[in-house]
Amino acid sequence: MKFIHLSDLHIGKSINGFPMLEEQRHAFNQIIGYMESNKADAVIIAGDVYDRAVPSVEAVKLFDWLLTQIALRNVPIMIISGNHDSPERLNFASRLLSRRDIFISGEFDGELRCVTLQDEYGDVRFWLMPFVKPALVSGFFPDRRIESYGDAAAAALETARLDSNIRNVLVSHQFYTPAGAVLIRSESEINPIGGLDAIDAGLLKEFDYAALGHLHRSQKAGSENIRYAGSPVKYSISEWMHQKSVLLVDMREKGEVITEALPLTPIRDMREIKGKLETLISAEIVSQADREDYLHVILTDEEELVDPMGKVRGVYPNVMSLDFENARTTVDLSSIRAGTEPIEALSAFDLFSEFFLDAQGSVMSNEQAGIIRELLEMEEMH
Ligand SMILES: [Mn+2]
């Protein structure tokens, strides 16, 4: 049996105001192509279908299109919620959709849902575990102490009645960490509780394959058969060096699993370029790669530049962000402040003036300064 393992679609995501819908559609088209060329028997989406709990109209339409394309090819699809999804909304019509081989597990209801598919070696059981948090799980296990994400995952996983004679696949969207290995994180994953969500990957050892979601870089979590698929599109500048892909998992007899990363190419790549403004916008540099790419630009000029973003965008229309790296930025950030006095010694007006300068890149006009003075005086009177 061959199946395609995807995760972290984040449909509807925008990066610095650039919508990713066309990139997402482009990636999905390649995935459908891979599904056909490899004659995949199933598709797994391991969470973070949408970028937010209430997705945009365009995002819902794109997901509808993706599901329809897969279902029209009579390929079963298994979907779980991730930390970005609304469990209840993702669950919409899930019972009805299961009749068309679209299996959605958005909400944990006390036990893991099992979907069984067959091939020439017998049954493969897919255990669908929606994203779980301690507070969501503890209500189902009144006699058990469930305080951490690890406790929650352990309790949920124990509801899978595993028959070790047949093949078992887990689909889950949690932060599993293997002992003795470091996983690569990305800024776009959004870690709500600063690493406290980490779960021992040892909990997964009974499964023949764990199809994981959450980490945006494709990687294994300690063992060949415990894998994060990664996102199909680069979702933050920190991912610019990643090669995005989907996983093709070939399960043969019990114990024999072969995975292959199928590469995805974007319409526009995401890159970081660094150097002096004049160099970066010179014809020689511009001609070396696609100037329509999404760029993070780091300028190393020491002197003040007039409208650097305008100049860079004049050549590279899709600059996502601009930073400076020079003598001024490499010294302490507090040097942005005009004076050397400690912050406590500054008046509220001075502090605001500096904040304004930092945020706006220019000093306040006399009129603006007058308004701020008035507001501060009113504040003092209260
Ligand atoms: Mn994600």
Mean pLDDT across the stretch 195-211? 91
Report in angstroms the alpha-carbon separations of 155 from 50, 114, 176.
26, 16, 15
Global confidence as pTM: 0.83
**pLDDT of 335:** 44
What is the CA(246)–ligand 1 centre distance, in A? Answer: 14
What is the CA(83)–ligand 1 centre distance, in A? Answer: 7
Q: Summarize pLDDT for 346-366 with one digit per residue, the tens.
A: 788 888 888 777 766 667 888
Asked if residue 173 lies in contact with residue 90, where contact means CB atoms within 8 angstroms, the answer is no
What is the CA(142)–ligand 1 centre distance, in A? Answer: 30
What is the CA(209)–ligand 1 centre distance, in A? Answer: 20
Q: Summarize pLDDT for 28-52 with one digit per residue, the tens.
A: 999 999 999 999 999 999 999 999 9
- Which segments within 130-235 are labelled E, that is strand? 167-172, 175-177, 198-200, 209-212, 219-220, 226-228
What is the CA(337)–ligand 1 centre distance, in A? Answer: 37
Q: Summarize pLDDT for 299-358 with one digit per residue, the tens.
A: 999 888 889 999 999 999 999 999 998 877 765 444 445 455 677 777 888 888 887 777
Domains and CATH numbers, the chain: 2-263 (3.60.21.10), 269-331 (3.30.160), 337-382 (no CATH)
What is the CA(230)–ligand 1 centre distance, in A? Answer: 8
**pLDDT of 194:** 55
**pLDDT of 340:** 59
Alpha-carbon span 85 to 164, nearest angstrom:
32
> Is residue 138 predicted with pLDDT exceeding 80?
yes
- Rounded to the nearest integer, the mean pLDDT of the chain is 91
**pLDDT of 215:** 94
Give the least confident one: 29-38, 91-100, 203-212, 359-368.
359-368
What is the CA(117)–ligand 1 centre distance, in A? Answer: 27
**pLDDT of 333:** 45
Residues 6 or more apart whose CB falls under 8 angstroms from that of 176 comprise 198, 199, 200, 201, 203, 204, 210, 212, 221, 226
pLDDT band with cut points at 50, 70 and 90 for residue 294: very high
What is the CA(172)–ligand 1 centre distance, in A? Answer: 12
What is the CA(118)–ligand 1 centre distance, in A? Answer: 30
pLDDT band with cut points at 50, 70 and 90 for residue 377: confident
What is the CA(247)–ligand 1 centre distance, in A? Answer: 16
Mean pLDDT across the stretch 157-166? 95
* Percent helix, strand and coil across the chain, each to the nearest 5: 30, 25, 45
